[in-house]
Amino acid sequence: ILDILGRSTADAVELGCHPGFDDALETMYRQERRREVEVLCCPDLRLGIQRLGFTLGHFTTLATGTPPA
């Protein structure tokens, strides 16, 4: 994620994923979803995003300029 963001020249970047824990989920993506949770919850990721000058936000922030309440 940091590599992608580090190469971006965009003002805003949307990353899509489907993180989750559900061992009963019958899909080939079950393990990937678990890994996405681990990556997205990593404190180093948040710090890296901030160091690259990005601000984490909600999609409505892009439309309104202010984060949701």
Task: Tell me the HSE value of 48 on the side-chain side, using a 13 A CA sphere.
Answer: 13
pLDDT tens-digit profile of 8-40? 998 888 888 888 887 777 888 888 888 888 998
Task: Give whole-number Cα distances, 15 to 9, 24, 26, 56, in Å.
Answer: 15, 26, 24, 11
- For residue 66, pLDDT over 80 is answered with no
Stretch 52-59: mean pLDDT = 85
Contact assessment for residue 2 and residue 52, using Cβ atoms and an 8 Å cutoff = yes
CB 19 within 8 A of CB 40: yes
The pLDDT of residue 61 is above 90:
no
Give the confidence band of 52 by pLDDT, cuts at 50, 70, 90.
Answer: very high
